[in-house]
Amino acid sequence: QVQLQESGPALVKPSETLSLTCTVSDDSMKTYYWGWIRQAPGKGLEWIGYVYYSGSTNYNPSLGGRLTISVATSMQQFSLRLTSVTAADTAVYYCARLVGPTTGFDSWGQGALVTVSS
């Protein structure tokens, strides 16, 4: 059973960059897609984007050009970078494994709360 773990700063100042890393417990990164989902306090789930081990990505257009998701398979990690954050980016950020584009996210990290505040 693969384990995923998010890590990164819990507090980010407005206009700065939010950076999170997800560490994958096994060496399956070249088999699956790897994604990020967030959930604002008391709200529903919002898909952020995903990356394939090759580096190809699929992003939520609502995040405009602020988003970068990258992968480092040798380190069994993938990362999220969101620039120019505002209070609206305050959320629990989950990393998750996508078995394939038609199957859904079948393994999730426990989530990391990131608060945007000065």
Partner 1 sequence: DIQLTQSPSFLSASVGDRVTITCRASQAIRGFLAWYQQKPGRAPKLLISAASTLQSGVPSRFSGSGFGTEFTLTISGLQPEDSATYYCQLLNTSPLPFGGGTKLEIK
- Residues of this chain that bind partner 1 (CB under 8 A): 37, 44-47, 58-62, 94, 96, 99, 101-106, 108-111
Q: For residue 22, which of 34, 13, 9, 30 has the smallest C-alpha distance? A: 34
State whether the Cα torsion 20-55-68-63 is positive or negative.
negative
Residue whose CB is less far from partner 1, 14 or 26: 26
User: At closest approach, how far in Å is the CB of 77 from partner 1?
Assistant: 18
CA distance 76 to 72: 6
Residue whose CB is less far from partner 1, 71 or 96: 96
- 3-class SS of residue 16: coil
User: At closest approach, how far in Å is the CB of 38 from partner 1?
Assistant: 11
Residue whose CB is less far from partner 1, 70 or 103: 103
The DSSP bridge pattern shows strands 57-59 and 77-82 to be unpaired
User: At closest approach, how far in Å is the CB of 88 from partner 1?
Assistant: 17
